[in-house]
Chains A and B, each alone.
Chain A
Amino acid sequence: MNVSQIVEALQQNFPDETIEVRDVPMRDTFVELAADDLHAAVTLLMERFDIYHLSTITGEDTGDAIVLFYHFWDGQGLTLCTLLSREAPHIPTLTDLIPGADFYEREVHEMLGVMFDGHTDLRPLVLPDDWNSPPPLRKEEEEKEDEQ
């Protein structure tokens, strides 16, 4: 895959956005996008560049925002990152494009409380059925745990 072509195409498609690109060791490129553009960007990746393999979705609470990393791979890595607000994080689901995103989205949902708009089945996957506390990977939960 040709990363510079992909970045160019993304820039053309979303002229209003500033798309940040940074290279990461071990042949990976991180591209930062707005949350609303993600679905369209992935459609573009799949249709024009035949990139279909979503390795996983990493979610992280940095304290200021919730960052999602969509790790794509096609001989080399391409990661789309997007920032979500901590108060009510939500993002369109990718399951309509990539059915395999199902488990990854469910995991991010239960670990960080991110809502995936359009995902039909956000039942708990890993946490117990009677889990009542807030999502466990949120910063405040982690701090609570660290104090103990």
Chain B
Amino acid sequence: MRAFLSVLFTLLIFPGFLFLFVCALTFQWIDRKVAARLQGRIGPPWFQPLADFIKLMAKEDILPTGAHKTACALLPMLSLASVLTASLYIPLGGKGVNAFEGDLIVVLFLLSLPALTYFLAGWLSASVYSIIGGNRALLQYFSYEVPFLMVLTGPAVLSGSWSITEIVAWQSRAMWMVLVQPLGFILAIIGLIGKLKRNPLDIPKAKSEIGAGPLTEFSGRKLALWYLMLYMKTVVGIFLLVNLFLGGSGLGLGLPGAVGFALKSLFILLILSVVSVLYARLRIDQLANFGWRVLAPLALAQMLMVVWIGVI
């Protein structure tokens, strides 16, 4: 019984759903507030993300005729589930709940699933805008994902383990990966922006061009779940980068691990927010060019460097 309760606690409260939910809302608020201040606006109050979520949950849920009802209901849940599952492998100081040798690959896979569901949502919801958005989402996926995966294997190769916990442990013994692979870190941030479809890579949901892209026809609870998934993915993605490049929770200033972890996460979030207000949105062909002509070769160079470091 105790064991069962403890599992339930892990899944639902910490570091499961509730913790991630609170993080997602907090990160969203910080992101919106920082962007607003940078743009000379005041920005929303702290409870705005929660209010938005509740409002969306209460709204009427409609789908156009011709949309695949079951699929459209399942897809947001599926993507939310995969993000939640991914979070269980990510150590928040200490060890991930389901950690095992090779969990990095599982996390990367689980974080890629939403891209597929997002694309399917576009194709199955019967709207011109969402079909175009879905196509773009897939094209974007091919542009950022390869360099993203390549640079994330860097830390694994260097530490000699596919376990995130091990990579963190290696960093506390040697040094933060970001010092060894600064290029890898920058590429990983760009990849994360692409993955999260944040400005300037919000191409699949460019609102002045194609409404909300694949999510154009979604409303009510389904849309709320999509948004929740996206914000949770932001949190999980940031946590992953903190673990892989910034040495997990250790800060080396005598601060508790949780504080160190939080500060590092906020640092990455800040980078994302600042980048989002600095640039105009790219066009999909420009991103494809950028991804394959700039990001991929750089990622390759980074990998070769890692291998070279490993040899000496």
| Complex A–B touching at CB under 8 A | no
